[in-house]
Amino acid sequence: MNQASKPVPDQDIALRLAQRLGAVLPAESLLSSAEELRPYECDGLSAYRRLPLMVALPETTEQVQHILRVCRELEVPVVARGAGTGLSGGALPLENGLLLSLTKFNRILEIDAHNHCARVQPGVRNLAISEAVAAHNLYYAPDPSSQIACSIGGNVAENSGGVHCLKYGLTVHNIMALEIVTIDGEVLSLGSRALDSAGYDLLALMTGSEGMLGVITEITVKLLPNPERAQVLLAAFDDVQKAGDAVATLIGAGIIPAGLEMMDNPAIRAAEDFVHAGYPVDAAAILLCELDGTNDEVSIEIKRVRDVLLKAGATEVRTAENDQQRASFWAGRKSAFPAVGRISPDYYCMDGTIPRKHIAHVLKRISELSEECGLQVANVFHAGDGNLHPLILYDANTPGELEKAEDFGAKILELSIEVGGTITGEHGVGIEKINQMCVQFSSDELTQFHAIKAAFDPYGLLNPGKAVPTLHRCAEFGAMHVHGGKLPHPELPRF
């Protein structure tokens, strides 16, 4: 029987686990009471909650090795957790499992300014990297909205994006090497500081693997020189579809901004009320377009972008007059999620990615789905790379509204697939989107995913039941054809 379907371990297993881990961890680094476990019951996707059997907070790689070896011997599942800011339920614990928190791995181990890289532990905050290397006129490019709190290890596990990923790439494009610990307690080094490494690209495979293949204990990140100049334009539109079409037009013109973000009117009003960013609250949508480079490059590009946006139907185009106004424009966008939280008891954040040419169509369809479901939506997303973040507003205290929000979200994800996109751009699959994996991938593809999982974790103990569904689950979901009343590949685990 697979680990995720096992009942909660009996007291004997829990006692043996505590004794074995207590031999290498101080008492304050091993939590087991309900009060101690409560902060770990969910990640940012708070609609789903579950207390783990136990929480371990190691400080060294050797302690992680010991923890994983003990869990393998006792057949206890392990869920690794970073800062808990994830939005797909990837760090949701298991009642019969150990939650492995890496928050004490919070040191920047080395800054190599000459080679533009830094070696850091997984618990280091995303923003702390840029702060630490600012004196060298360097920064770390991927910047999720939660960068003030999210950890770099979690960013790697989810392949996080951010405002500036249009030009500079996702996490996978900005790391050079990883140190991971396998379920057997072995330490592996993946990648290098060279431009390329021999063999299979296991570094890319590990990025976005959601804690299913190994536990990350060290990361070497790329650093970039700060641009000579960065400037933001804000374009207002009286129609959401015009704004969506403007994104495709801008990229089609050969312009690659550092960041290109879009917000619709509900998101604009919420953000303006929250941070007073100076947004035009009567606009149906706004685009924020940041250009960076040398002074001359930015001056030329600003004029080009302004002309393209006005021809695309913008009613107004503003250019940030100074760094303070630039920061204000971005503060509104980066505060959009908490801002929307002020106008609704709850919201459900989706994360689909679509081809840019379909933005206008998808936004129109989301509006139609909103009417059909009777739930409002605030749209905030990385428009330049087609990464949508519709925020579905609901009240969990109203019976049935969470289920309506989940159904609405599922339809958005399936719409993303329909137009040639994917069900996640940076938040991962976790448990939230696992059914839609059945829609996006065939049985043969899922079989290969499970083969990769088994190569790294043959015991099925690392974050089981997340990210990759079994064929059994897909058949029950109704998204996969079952031949002759039998499941294809019945030998696969059925968690």
Establish if 218 belongs to a structural domain.
Answer: yes
Q: How confident is the model at residue 485 (pLDDT cuts 50, 70, 90)?
A: very low
Q: Are residues 413 and 373 in the same domain?
A: yes
Asked whether 216 and 209 are in contact (CB, 8 A), the reply is no
Q: Are residues 77 and 166 in the same domain?
A: no
Predicted local confidence at residue 198, as pLDDT: 87
pTM: 0.92
Residue 37 has pLDDT above 80, yes or no: yes
Q: Are residues 262 and 367 in the same domain?
A: yes
How many angstroms separate the CA atoms of 343 and 341, rounded? 6
CATH number at residue 74: 3.30.43.10
* Helix count and strand count (H, E) for the chain: 17, 20
Q: How confident is the model at residue 10 (pLDDT cuts 50, 70, 90)?
A: low
Q: How confident is the model at residue 196 (pLDDT cuts 50, 70, 90)?
A: confident
Domain residues for 201?
108-225
Which of 194, 225, 256 is the endpoint of a domain?
Answer: 225
How many angstroms separate the CA atoms of 230 and 299, rounded? 10
Tell me the average pLDDT across 23-31. 97
Predicted local confidence at residue 359, as pLDDT: 94
Which of 378, 397, 432 is the endpoint of a domain?
Answer: 432
Query: pLDDT tens for residues 74-115?
Result: 999 999 999 999 999 999 999 999 999 999 999 999 999 999
Q: How confident is the model at residue 483 (pLDDT cuts 50, 70, 90)?
A: very low
Establish if 478 belongs to a structural domain.
Answer: no
Predicted local confidence at residue 155, as pLDDT: 98
Query: pLDDT tens for residues 367-407?
Result: 999 999 999 999 999 999 999 999 999 999 999 999 999 99
Residue 322 has pLDDT above 90, yes or no: yes
Asked whether 236 and 286 are in contact (CB, 8 A), the reply is yes
Tell me the average pLDDT across 305-317. 98
Establish if 75 belongs to a structural domain.
Answer: yes
Predicted local confidence at residue 495, as pLDDT: 36
Predicted local confidence at residue 118, as pLDDT: 98
Q: Are residues 78 and 211 in the same domain?
A: no
**In degrees, to the nearest 5, what angle opens at C-alpha 477 toward C-alphas 474 and 479?**
65
Predicted local confidence at residue 73, as pLDDT: 97
Q: Specify which residues 111 forms β-bridges with.
A: 118
Q: Are residues 115 and 42 in the same domain?
A: no
Q: Are residues 357 and 372 in the same domain?
A: yes
In Å, the largest CA–CA distance within the chain is 71
Q: Are residues 145 and 276 in the same domain?
A: no
Which of 432, 453, 488 is the endpoint of a domain?
Answer: 432
C-alpha distance from residue 426 to each of 162, 347, 371, 471 (Å): 8, 18, 27, 24
Establish if 474 belongs to a structural domain.
Answer: no
Q: Of 277, 281, 246, nearest to 264 (Cα)? A: 281
CATH number at residue 201: 3.30.465.10
Q: Are residues 268 and 388 in the same domain?
A: yes
Establish if 51 belongs to a structural domain.
Answer: yes
Q: Are residues 57 and 181 in the same domain?
A: no
Residue 1 has pLDDT above 60, yes or no: no
Predicted local confidence at residue 11, as pLDDT: 76
Q: How confident is the model at residue 19 (pLDDT cuts 50, 70, 90)?
A: very high
SS3 191: strand
Q: Specify which residues 262 forms β-bridges with.
A: 287, 381
Q: How confident is the model at residue 275 (pLDDT cuts 50, 70, 90)?
A: very high
Tell me the average pLDDT across 69-76. 97
Q: Are residues 186 and 270 in the same domain?
A: no
Q: Taking the C-alpha atoms of 480, 486, 487 and 488 in order, what is their torsion angle to the nearest 10 degrees? A: -100
Asked whether 321 and 302 are in contact (CB, 8 A), the reply is no
Number of domains in the chain: 3
Q: Are residues 188 and 243 in the same domain?
A: no
CA 437 to chain centre: 16
Residue 490 has pLDDT above 50, yes or no: no
Q: Are residues 232 and 220 in the same domain?
A: no
Mean pLDDT (the chain) is 93
Q: How confident is the model at residue 46 (pLDDT cuts 50, 70, 90)?
A: confident
Predicted local confidence at residue 34, as pLDDT: 96
For the chain, percent of residues with pLDDT exceeding 90:
91
Establish if 329 belongs to a structural domain.
Answer: yes
CATH number at residue 313: 3.40.462.10
